[in-house]
Amino acid sequence: MSIFRRPDYQSEVTQFIEQLKTQKPELDTQQQAGRALLWDKNVDRELWQEYRAGRVKQKPYVYYSYSDKQA
């Protein structure tokens, strides 16, 4: 170990999170359950290919009303 090594710095936020994790050990499993509820989903890739194939191409300037007749 070097004599110039400084102690590892931990911010107040990091200290708070570490303290919270030691006080509530079930917090990590609750976070994982919440993530699974909202984000971890199985994706049907064939269905997404059908969605993408059925998209209608947007015109370059959507606020202009195009007509077949030009004045």
Q: What is the pLDDT of residues 15-60, one digit of tens each?
A: 999 999 999 999 999 999 999 888 888 889 999 999 999 998 877 7
Q: Count of domains in the chain? A: 1
- Residue 6, pLDDT score: 80
Residue 68 lies in a domain: no
What pTM does this model have? 0.46
**Range of the structural domain that residue 42 is part of:** 12-54
Residue 20 lies in a domain: yes
Residue 5 lies in a domain: no
- Residue 4, pLDDT score: 81
Task: List the beta strands (DSSP E) in 1-71.
Answer: none
- Residue 46, pLDDT score: 94
Residue 11 pLDDT more than 90?
Answer: yes
In degrees, rounded to 5, the angle at the alpha carbon of residue 27 between the alpha carbons of residues 23 and 31 is 160
Residue 44 lies in a domain: yes
Residue 71 pLDDT more than 70?
Answer: no
